[in-house]
């Protein structure tokens, strides 16, 4: 995510979402009562006298602002929509007060105006911007004895390589072919290990070399194999890398990773509850009491409850005391399990009852 404009006196911030996770964050940044503005396209019908023309009109693009009445984000389709009454726009085309839905799209700026920007929401934007600087995935495009890397960052793609192996064709008898192939794969792995905190590795290519390389990872580099998937492409090199990008696979994996982390946190919470050792709190009042006692190590809050002002204060208090806060999406089973516990829970440093 990027901030392209900010005026704290006017309460305005312009954001550009770059990943599905950014859309998810923005779905919780936008609140009922905010004014959201963006470019939008509407089909405008021309009129002749009192009669409506039979054609479907023409599409026109213009800047429009709405007073938000509802926000909907569908995690698995990646659609974020804000609906409300139009408060600004060209009145020749869009009458003020009529309803309109703005769809927030990747890499398209959106302006958000609030009466008050809470510390929690500003921190959320800051964390999303920091995440944009990290390497979200590496695409390894392998074809025969050549490997190209596509380093996927939220600001774009950075190419690395190629790495070329000294491998003879399968039809040529070469007793060193197996060793040369292993050396080629090891050089690819040495390059991968230079990058910190890789979230995903996508091994792609048109032939069977990509599968052979993945088998090599499973035998020699199991940690890399755990974060790797194999995907077929029609070409190798940069063309193959761009083919992966067009499939939207990177965004899908990043979203799945976040969901997996959240579900793992909920599973851990439920396991601790089952042990009944008293080092867990759940439900609003019980959890807040634990926070006020300074006992919370990890706080889990359902995304739908984040906007409650009292919970924002609670979350800030946990962080100030050195605890961790995780916002859990209500879109998956882990979120539904947390909602059944009252929407908020905590793992404690020590039992308080």
The predicted structure's pLDDT at residue 170: 54
Decide if domain 135-247 falls under CATH 3.30.420.60: yes
What average pLDDT does range 213-233 have in this prediction? 94
Compute the average pLDDT of residues 194-217.
Answer: 90
| 115: its two tokens | 């009466």
Q: What is the pLDDT of residue 327?
A: 85
Angstrom distance (rounded) from CA 344 to CA 340:
9
On the question of pLDDT at 255 being above 80, the answer is no
State mean pLDDT over 49-71. 74
pLDDT at 9 exceeding the cut of 80: yes
Distance CA 8, CA 117 (A): 8
Q: Is the pLDDT of residue 52 over 60?
A: no
Minimal CA–CA distance to 314: which of 269, 353, 347, 344? 344
Instruction: List the CATH code of the domain at 259-348.
Output: 3.30.1330.30
Q: In terms of DSSP H, where are the helices of the chain? A: 20-29, 119-132, 177-192, 209-220, 222-226, 237-246, 249-275, 284-292, 309-320, 333-340
> Could you tell me which residues come within 8 angstroms of residue 248 by beta carbon, excluding any fewer than 6 positions away?
none
* Listed range (125-129, 166-170, 275-279, 304-308) with the worst mean pLDDT: 166-170
* Tokens 């439920």, residue located: 270
- Looking at mean pLDDT, say which of 23-27, 225-229, 244-248, 310-314 comes out highest: 225-229
Sign for the CA dihedral angle at 294, 298, 303, 304 comes to negative
Q: What's the CATH number of domain 2-132, 3.40.50.800, 3.40.190.10, 2.30.30.870, 3.30.390.50?
A: 2.30.30.870
Residues with Cβ within 8 Å of 213's Cβ and at least 6 positions away in sequence, in order, are 140, 142, 185, 188, 203
């Amino acid at each position: 995510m990027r901030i392209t404009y900010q005026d704290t006196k006017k309460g305005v911030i312009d954001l550009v979402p770059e990943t599905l996770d950014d859309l998810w964050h923005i779905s919780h940044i936008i609140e009922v009562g905010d004014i959201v503005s963006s470019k939008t396209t509407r089909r405008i019908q021309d009129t002749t006298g009192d009669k409506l023309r039979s054609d479907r009109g023409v599409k026109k693009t213009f800047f429009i602002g709405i007073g938000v009445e509802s926000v909907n984000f569908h995690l698995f389709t990646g659609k974020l929509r804000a609906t409300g009454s139009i408060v600004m726009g060209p009145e020749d085309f869009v009458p003020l007060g009529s309803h309109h839905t703005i769809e927030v799209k990747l890499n398209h700026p959106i302006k958000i105006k609030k009466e008050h920007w809470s510390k929690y929401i500003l921190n959320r934007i800051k964390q999303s911007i920091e995440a944009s600087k990290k390497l979200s995935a590496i695409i390894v495009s392998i074809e025969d004895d050549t490997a190209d890397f596509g380093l996927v960052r939220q600001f774009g793609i950075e190419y690395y390589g190629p790495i070329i192996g000294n491998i003879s064709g399968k039809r040529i008898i070469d007793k060193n072919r197996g060793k040369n192939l292993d050396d080629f794969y090891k050089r690819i792995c040495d390059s991968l290990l230079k990058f910190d905190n890789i979230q995903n590795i996508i091994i792609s290519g048109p032939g069977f070399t990509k599968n052979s390389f993945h088998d090599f990872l499973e035998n020699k580099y199991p940690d890399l194999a755990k974060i790797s998937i194999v995907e077929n492409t029609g070409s190798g090199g940069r063309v193959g890398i761009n083919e992966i990008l067009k499939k939207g696979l990177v965004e899908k994996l990043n979203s799945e990773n976040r969901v997996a982390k959240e579900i793992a946190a909920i599973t851990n919470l439920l396991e601790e509850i089952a042990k009944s050792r008293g080092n867990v709190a759940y439900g609003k009042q019980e959890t807040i009491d634990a926070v006020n006692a300074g006992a919370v190590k990890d706080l889990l809050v359902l995304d739908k409850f984040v906007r409650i002002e009292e919970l924002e204060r609670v979350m800030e208090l946990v962080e100030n005391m050195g605890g961790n806060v995780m916002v859990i999406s209500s879109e998956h089973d882990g979120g539904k399990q947390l909602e059944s516990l009252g929407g908020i829970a905590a793992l404690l440093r020590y039992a308080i009852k």
